[in-house]
Each structure stands twice: as C-alpha cells, then as structure tokens.
Amino acid sequence: MSKRISQALLRSVVKQRAKIESLKAALQTSEQQLLADLKDGATVQSGALTARVKTWERRNVAWREKLVEATSQEHADRILAATRATEYEALVVETAA
C-alpha cells in the first residue's frame, strides 16, 4: 500500500513558504532602515545588543595567478596596485561586549 500525502499537509507547506518569504521581506526592510539610520549618524540605545556598519575594500583580481605565471610577480603587483578596490558594507548586529 502506498502512502498518501494529504492536501492539508501540502497547504501547510505552501503557507509556511509564504510566511518565510514575508518574514524575509520584513527583515530586509528593517535591515535597510537600520543601515541607512546608522550611516546617517544615528546612535544605538545602550543595552545587550549593538549595531554597526562594517565596511571593507577588496580588489577582485581572479586573473592574478595567471598573470604571475605569464609574466612576473612584480608586474602582477603593479597591476593590482592600479586596480580600483570595490567597497563593500554590511550591517552587523551583535551582542554588546
């Protein structure tokens, strides 16, 4: 005898997926607002949690190893130094130290 999957279970899965998508959208909106507020100079109320904007730069040069093989390390270093870094930022919410 084969097992049957109920329509109720399938409806439950569809509802849960919809709820997850809704929560993801709400989270994204909250994080964007927090990030914007922090970048505008807002301060975080003292307490158990803190928030900050983490920024970093990175030069994406996947071809560097091939360039070193084809030319020299010195030449690759010059090219890397001339490559503009891409700036990234992220919201960090964590337990206060």
Q: How far apart (Å, rounded) are the C-alpha atoms in residues 49 and 36?
A: 18
SS3 64: helix
The secondary structure element, H or E, covering residue 89 is strand 86-95
Return per-residue pLDDT of the chain as tens, 97 residues: 799 999 999 999 999 999 999 999 999 999 999 999 999 999 999 999 999 999 998 876 677 777 777 888 888 788 777 888 889 999 999 998 7
For residue 89, list its beta bridge partners.
55
Please report the pLDDT score of residue 61 as a whole number: 67
Please report the pLDDT score of residue 46 as a whole number: 94
pTM: 0.68
Phi, psi of 81 (to 5 degrees): -65, -30
Total count of residues recorded for the chain: 97
Do the beta carbons of residue 57 and residue 85 sit within 8 Å? yes
